[in-house]
Amino acid sequence: MSTQINEIEIKHQVNKNAAFGLIQEGMKRGAVEISYINQVYLFNENATAYYNREKGAFDIIVKHKNKEASFTIFVKEKDKLDVLNKEFKESCFISCNKSTFRVRYLDGKPIFTFKRKIEGIDGNFEFEVPFAENGQTPDKEALSKVLSKIKSRVEKIRYTIAQKNNLFYEIDMYKDEDFITLEIEFKTIEEMENFEPNYSFIRDWTDDSSKKNKNLAKAKL
């Protein structure tokens, strides 16, 4: 399980030549990881979620028509960040519209993610937990039966390229889209503002909400 508060990033549209040039250069250095990502975004008709502060857990119900998978994700003591206690002062319903809920299949392994913009901090608060076979989560088959019917998804191949400046370029090639994106995540806004790309790009989509994965997925509903 991982948590993070900062998600400060840029997103550029790049052409095939620029993308494959970076991938080939990274492969020569042995600095490329390739992943297949299939992520299903859950909106209000697909999921309900509650954070129970007293219990220290997320109660999740994922549903589609007559199929349903429910599970509880307990927050470990070391991961009970102040932001959880500040944002959720008591047991409460979490709106899927104001937050982002998704189940990502990363190379076939499901990971649940909850992301929310928190007032007063840079970027988003993100809470991510892999599905474990510990009785707290539904088995992969039950979950897959529900998620396979939900159309709001993004499928892509991701090339993660480690750079010499300790940054990582994430190049995404989508199954159902005719564009390629390159994303870079930074630790601080200052680091992002001082970044000078060593590649050419077609346009800057950092502030284009229509190109965010959540909205690409929602457009398929």
**Is residue 59 over pLDDT 90?**
no
What average pLDDT does the segment 204-216 reach? 94
- What CATH number does the domain located at 8-39+153-218 have? 2.40.320.10
pLDDT digits (tens, 9 = 90+) for 147-200: 888 999 999 999 999 998 899 999 999 999 999 999 999 988 999 999 999 999
Global pTM value:
0.81
29 pLDDT exceeds 90? yes
Lowest mean pLDDT across 7-21, 131-145, 151-165: 131-145
Q: Which of 196, 109, 114 is nearest to 144 (CA)?
A: 109
Structure tokens at 42: 């859950």
For tokens 């088995």, the residue is: 139
Tokens of residue 203, six digits: 């346009």
Could you state, in order of their start, the residue ranges of all structural domains in the chain? 8-39+153-218, 42-147
Structure confidence by residue, pLDDT tens digits, 65-97: 888 888 787 777 666 666 666 666 666 777 666
Question: DSSP states of 134-170 as a string?
Answer: SSSS--HHHHHHHHTT---EEEEEEEEEE-TTS-EEE
Among 79-83, 141-145, 168-172, 205-209, the least confident range: 79-83
The pLDDT, as a whole number, for residue 5 is 56
Burial class (CB in 10 A: 0-12, 13-18, 19+), 115: middle
Q: Which of 50-54, 166-170, 211-215 has the highest mean pLDDT?
A: 166-170
